[in-house]
Amino acid sequence: MTNTYEATLEYAKEQDKADPLYLNRERFHIPQHNNGDTVYFCGNSLGLQPKSVERLIKSELEDWAKYGVEGHFQARNPWFYYHHIFSERLGRLVGASKDEVVATNTLTVNLQLLMLSFYRPEGRRFKIMMEAGAFPSDQYAVETQVRMYGYDPKDAIIEIAPKPGKHTIEESDIIVAIAEAGDSLALVMFGGVNYYTGQLFDMQSITDAAHKVGAYAGFDLAHAVGNVPLSLHDWDIDFACWCSYKYLNSGPGGVGGLYVHERHYNNPDTFRLAGWWGNDEKERFLMRKGFVPQKNAGSWQMSNAPVFNMVAHNAALDIHDHVGIKALREKSLKLTGYLEFLLNTIEHLSFEIITPKEEDRRGCQLSLLFDSRGKEVFEALTNNGVIADWREPNVIRIAPVPLYNSFEDVYKFYNILAQIDAQ
Ligand SMILES: *Cc1c(COP(=O)(O)O)cnc(C)c1O
């Protein structure tokens, strides 16, 4: 493949032929429109279903029917240890050891639980820094955390916004703000990739700056995991959490995941809310008093594993692990580059790409901000078999996902957009 793109269907098809990941498309159910595949550019919101899920759900149902309660130890993947089957694959995906990650709960729940551990305001040090315009659930979570300790969000939350007239945040503005906040800062909590603009943050620099002033650094990786390479451990990040239904294709409401740096789970002073599934496994069924946390991130689990919910995660992680985030990213840069190239040739519609132009400051998503008529364009796309994502007030988010989207998808999208009437 080359990076001298061409705006023709032949060119797009050639790229697909040369793409070593192209065949993965076959592993997913692609929603249909007029008896053909839709152009599904919404994998940043809900990833597609791996075809293998159905078989795996059936086999889990069989084990339940066959063993009843004994499935906890007799099932093909014993339920007592079910969450273990994800750890190695998740570790490879996010750049952590298998003990630093666990598939458990859901995203906002994990964010709240991790903030209970890592937002411990005391004296002068009570502030949380986050990006302005973070996903609402994260805003609510942070707001209620500071309220729980009696602070007014206006005093305790520092939001970093883009400079006037800009759409994305300058990395240096974050670093400067952290230094300025100094010892008033308890926690820096950012999205790894902002859901709205698609901006990828430099998590390592943010973490370094936070640590320099004695604050913790945590990240919501909803839009980063399975999208961009991560090295959570090497970047020295304190904690992170993610959902599995976006780029990880594990189904609506799918089990979330969390990461805690080893220095924290090994520290007996690290506070965590307890439940029996976080307890030392050897003693879990002894039903004794006194919580003994596991010596891994699994100690943040509370309830027993939602096995049926996790089956799709198992199927999807197999595919991700087989492909690997490195190869995925390589294709992603070309695929999104092609989309950007084609969009830049369109002159009859008035929009601006607000996602950063630099490859290392974005994942696969491009966000198009329309002057007007955005909704109309979005509806025309939908009517022509493009599944994209509309965000108020005027943004269409387009996510060509390298795991199952093709260059032909990108070309088709462009072709449909090019035929929408100008007004
Ligand atoms: C998708 C998303 C969520 C959704 O939270 P759930 O608890 O999984 O419903 C939260 N935060 C961010 C940044 C997201 O992108």
What would the pLDDT profile of 255-285 be if each residue is shown by its tens digit?
999 999 999 999 989 999 999 999 998 887 7
For every residue of 320-341, DSSP letters joined together read: HHHH-HHHHHHHHHHHHHHHHH
Of 108, 221, 365, best ligand 1 pocket probe by most atoms within 8 Å of the beta carbon: 108
The closest-lying atom of ligand 1 relative to the alpha carbon of residue 109 is: 7
- Confidence band, pLDDT 50/70/90 cuts, at residue 288: confident
Q: Which of 301, 321, 341 is the last residue of a domain?
A: 321
Q: What is the dihedral of CA 320, 322, 326, 329, to 10 degrees?
A: -50
Residue whose Cα lies nearest atom 8 of ligand 1: it is 107
Report the distance separating Cα 395 and Cα 59, nearest Å: 42
The closest-lying atom of ligand 1 relative to the alpha carbon of residue 243 is: 8
pLDDT of residue 306: 97
Residue whose Cα lies nearest atom 1 of ligand 1: it is 222
37 shares its domain with 102:
no
Measure 253 CA to ligand 1 centroid, in angstroms. Answer: 10
Q: Is there a domain that residue 70 lies in? A: no
pLDDT, mean over the chain: 96
165 shares its domain with 307:
yes
Omega before 306 within 30 of 0, i.e. cis: no
- Confidence band, pLDDT 50/70/90 cuts, at residue 423: low
187 shares its domain with 253:
yes
Provide mean pLDDT across the span 134-156. 97
Provide mean pLDDT across the span 181-185. 98
Protein residues whose CB sits closer than 6 Å to any atom of ligand 1: 106-108, 135, 137-138, 191, 195, 220, 222-223, 243
Provide mean pLDDT across the span 25-35. 97
- Confidence band, pLDDT 50/70/90 cuts, at residue 286: confident
302 shares its domain with 344:
no
Q: Which of 321, 346, 380 is the last residue of a domain?
A: 321
350 shares its domain with 256:
no
Provide mean pLDDT across the span 298-322. 97
Measure 362 CA to ligand 1 centroid, in angstroms. Answer: 18
Q: Is there a domain that residue 59 lies in? A: no
The closest-lying atom of ligand 1 relative to the alpha carbon of residue 246 is: 1
Report the distance separating Cα 423 and Cα 147, nearest Å: 49
Residue whose Cα lies nearest atom 10 of ligand 1: it is 137
For the entire predicted model, the pTM comes to: 0.96
What residues make up the domain containing 182?
82-321
pLDDT of residue 289: 87
166 shares its domain with 205:
yes
Q: Is there a domain that residue 230 lies in? A: yes
Measure 22 CA to ligand 1 centroid, in angstroms. Answer: 29
Q: Is there a domain that residue 298 lies in? A: yes
Report the distance separating Cα 135 and Cα 272, nearest Å: 24
> In percent, how much of the chain has pLDDT > 90?
94
Report the distance separating Cα 204 and Cα 230, nearest Å: 10
